[in-house]
A and B are shown apart, each in its own frame.
Chain A
Amino acid sequence: QVQLVESGGAVAQPGTSLRLSCAASGFTFGLHGMHWIRQAPGKGLEWVAVFSYDEEETKYYADSVKGRFTISRDNIKNTLFLQMDSLRPEDTAVYYCAKGNYYESGTYYILENWGQGTLVTVSS
C-alpha cells in the first residue's frame, strides 16, 4: 500500500532554514508528480509546490513561497524534499506531502494519497 512519511519538522527562528523529507513506498515513485501542501493551525489547506514526474523536471510554487522554498526529489531513494529558506512566522503549519495521480487528461494534480504531515513552527 502507498505510504508517505514526512520528517524534518521543527521549531525554527525567523530567517532560518529547514529541510523537510518525504519517504515514499508502495508505488512507482518516479511515475508520479509529487506535491507539498500545508495547513496552518486551525486553518484550511494551501498548496505549496509540485515536482513533475517526467524528464522535464517541472517545478511550480505558490506565490507565498516562491524564491524561498525549493522542491526536489530523489527517484533512486524514493524521497521528496522541501528546502525552506528565509522562514517566516506565517510559514508555521503542518506540511503534508501528497502523491499526484498517474498523468491523465493533462494533469497530475489529483492528490491521491497524503502523508501524516510534519509540523513546522517558526517563532522567535
Chain B
Amino acid sequence: IVMTQSPDSLALSLGERATINCKSSQSVFYSLENKDYLTWYQQIPGQPPKLLISWASIRESGVPERFSGSGSGTDFTLTISGLQAEDVAVYYCHQYYNTPPTFGQGTKVE
C-alpha cells in the first residue's frame, strides 16, 4: 500500500492550525474490526519518531489535545490546532493494514 502525504512541507505561525493529509492507495479500513489501521508519528529533529495517534483517531496517552486525527478508508488528516514551537517536526502517517507496513514520505512542519 502506497501512502502519499500532502503537503511535503508547511510553514505556519504560532497559534495557527496545521492540516496534514494522508492518502492510501487502497483502503486500510478493516470492516470486521470496524477500524482503520493507520497511525501518525511525530519526529522532532535529532530524535526518534514518537507515536501520536493510532487507529486513525485515538490519541496516545500524554499527547496534547491539540493533536487530532480523522478520516477513514483511504483519506486521513492530522490536525494540530494552535501550533506550538515544540511542534516543529516531521509528521508521518503509517498503515498497518497489511504487511509490509508502509509510511508516507513525511510532512515537515515549520
Contacts and interface: CB of A to CB of B under 8 A. Distances in A.
Interface of A: 44-47, 50, 60, 62-63, 96, 101, 105-107, 109-117
B35 interface: yes
A113 B48 CA distance: 9
19 contacts: A44-B103, A45-B41, A45-B49, A45-B92, A45-B94, A46-B103, A47-B100, A96-B49, A105-B33, A105-B35, A107-B96, A109-B37, A109-B96, A109-B99, A111-B51, A111-B94, A112-B51, A114-B50, A117-B48
A111 B33 CA distance: 19
A111 B39 contact: yes
Secondary structure type dominating chain A contacts:
strand
Interface residues of B, number: 25
Contacts of B106: 44-45
Closest A-B pairs by Cβ, 8 of them: A109-B96, A114-B48, A105-B33, A45-B103, A44-B106, A110-B54, A47-B101, A60-B99
A110 B49 contact: no
A21 B62 CA distance: 29
B37 A116 contact: no
